[in-house]
Every structure is written in C-alpha cells, then in structure tokens.
Amino acid sequence: MDHLWIPVTLAAALAQTGRNAAQRGLTERLGTLGATNVRFLFGLPFACAFLGLALWLSGTPPLPLTPRALGFTALGAAAQITATALMLQAMRHRGFGIVTAWLKVEPVLVALTGWAVLDEPLTLPMLGAIAVSIGGVLVMTLKPGQGRAMLSGLGPAALGLAAGLCFGLSAIGFRGAITALPEGTFLIRALTILALSLALQTAALGLWLAFRDRPALTGSLRAFGPSLAAGFLGALASAFWFTGFALTTAANVRTLALVEVIFALLLARIAFGQRTSPRELLGLAILLAGVALLLRSQS
C-alpha cells in the first residue's frame, strides 16, 4: 500500500495524455475556454458515477463534508481555473516551450507549499530528485538559444511562474481537502473531493461562458461525441490524480507526473509521426534519472 501511489500516478499521467489528445480538435472548434469547459462539464457525470459505484460496492454512505474540506476544495478548484487562464495568457506572449519550462517549476512550489501549509515532510533527497526531473523537462522543452528568451520580459515570466504557482496551489488544495475528511477509505475520500471540485468548476466556468462566450458553451453541447470522450478521459485521469493525493504528498505525485512528457512524446511519434530529437532523448534520460531518484528517496 505504501507504494500504490506510483502506479496510480502513472495511470493518471497516461489517462491525461489521452485526454489532451481528445481535446486537441475541440480547442480549434470551441476555443480554449470552451474546450477547457468540456473537461469539467462532461467529466462531472463520470466523476459522480465513479463515486456512486465506489459507495455502492463498499456499502459506505456519502461522507460528510467538513468546513476545512470545503475550503481546501474551493481553493483547489479556483486555483486550477486561474492557472489555466494565466498559462494561456502567457502563451500569447511567449512560445509554448518557454511557457512550459516556466510551468515545470510546479513540483518545487508544491513541495515548499505542502511543507508550509500541510506540514508535509520535505527532505534533501526529495528536493534533489525534483530538481533533476525538472532539469530533464527543461532540456526537452527549451530549444538552443531560448534560455535568454526565457529570462527576458518580466511580464510574461511573471504570468508563467504565477500559473505554475496556481497549479501547485490546486494540488495542495485537493490534497488538503482529501486529508481533511475525517473518515472513509482513501478511494472514497478522493472520489468525494473529485466530484465536489468538478461541480464547483462546472458551475463557475459555465456561468462565465454563459455571460461572456455563449457560443463556446453551446458548441460543446453540439460536439457531444468528442466532448463525451474528453470528459470521460478527464474524469478518469482526475480520479487517479486525486487517489494519488490521498496516498502520498502532492510533491511526490506532481514530480512523478512529469513522466506525462514521455507519454506525450510517444503519442506524438505513434499517432502523429513526429520524431524525437537527440536533445529530447537526452532530456528524457535526465527525467527518468530524476524519477528514479524520487522513487529511491521514498523506499
């Protein structure tokens, strides 16, 4: 049970890669916020179904929600939406690779915030593993000559780093909400917070689109088939993410989650015929070394 978070996190990263691929066409049809809304709107029914099935199989009644759990869930839900908006704004001013590099400081921010807010352990071997893993992602993400561009322009850099911080806060919020539930198995607690967070996000983003971008909202309903597939994969990925948060620290989950980059490269090669460069292979090797160090620090 101590290491169950490892296959759970790997399954989450794999499912999220599939969701991203499913959303690829939806972004062009619905716009970025419209495609993002699909993740919540069409994911919510599946999350509720996962929770209902788990409660039925275990014979467990619905868990009572504490004020602390509600507060942390609201924090995580709001931070996730805010992070997405900041990321998209940053990408309007800088390239995808540079913004991705800014975002990948998230595991460090998660580790520090988890230590400060949730009193979660923070060791030197863990920090070293996080640093090596992020280094691997930077090697894969940044092209030669982009280092200066990454550091230039305080405005876009601030947006990118703020997005990484908000993504980290969302992980801390969800982890805090799960641990704030006083009873229930790790799976029931994870699925309960997942359903609650998706409900909050669906309501918030749905209201925003209803008043600011109604075509994107109605378009997601017209694209029912692709939206349903993306919603299912998104809910499945989130179920694994939240289960990982129930089993170990958010820093462990978000660091191991960097293997999603590997899955994305494999998908790009298999589905889209995109080749992997020697630089990307080097970054991949460094990332795997960081993941190995992280797993060793947990043994």
The confidence score (pLDDT) of residue 91 equals 58
CA distances from 296 to 3, 8, 81, 126, 129 (A): 11, 17, 33, 9, 9
The confidence score (pLDDT) of residue 157 equals 60
Alpha-carbon distance of 270 to 265, in angstroms, equals 9
Q: H helices then E strands: how many in the chain?
A: 15, 0
Alpha-carbon distance of 245 to 249, in angstroms, equals 6
Angle (CA) 229 219 174, round 5°: 55
The confidence score (pLDDT) of residue 14 equals 87
Supply 197's token pair: 């967070």
Q: Which of 182, 172, 177 is nearest to 194 (CA)?
A: 177
pTM for this predicted structure: 0.81
Q: How many CA atoms lie within 13 A of 97 on its CB side?
A: 15
The confidence score (pLDDT) of residue 142 equals 61
Phi, psi of 164 (to 5 degrees): -60, -40
Helix, strand, or coil here: 156?
Answer: helix
The confidence score (pLDDT) of residue 287 equals 74
Q: Which of 273, 242, 227, 218 is nearest to 76 (CA)?
A: 242
Supply 172's token pair: 């801390």
Q: Residue holding tokens 């997005």?
A: 163
Neighbour count for residue 268 (Cβ, 10 Å): 16
Supply 83's token pair: 């992070």
Please name the residues in contact with 70: beta carbons below 8 A apart, sequence gap of 6 or more.
Answer: 177, 196
Q: What is the pLDDT along the chain (299 residues), one digit of tens a residue?
A: 668 999 999 999 888 878 777 766 676 777 777 777 888 899 999 999 999 999 999 999 999 999 999 999 999 999 988 887 777 666 555 544 455 555 666 777 788 778 877 888 778 888 888 888 777 777 766 665 555 554 444 456 677 777 778 888 899 999 999 999 988 899 999 999 999 999 999 999 989 888 888 888 888 788 888 888 888 988 999 999 999 999 988 888 888 887 777 777 676 666 656 666 777 778 777 877 877 777 777 65
The confidence score (pLDDT) of residue 218 equals 85
C-alpha of 36 from chain center: 13
CA distances from 23 to 61, 76, 169, 274 (A): 35, 22, 24, 18
Alpha-carbon distance of 98 to 141, in angstroms, equals 7
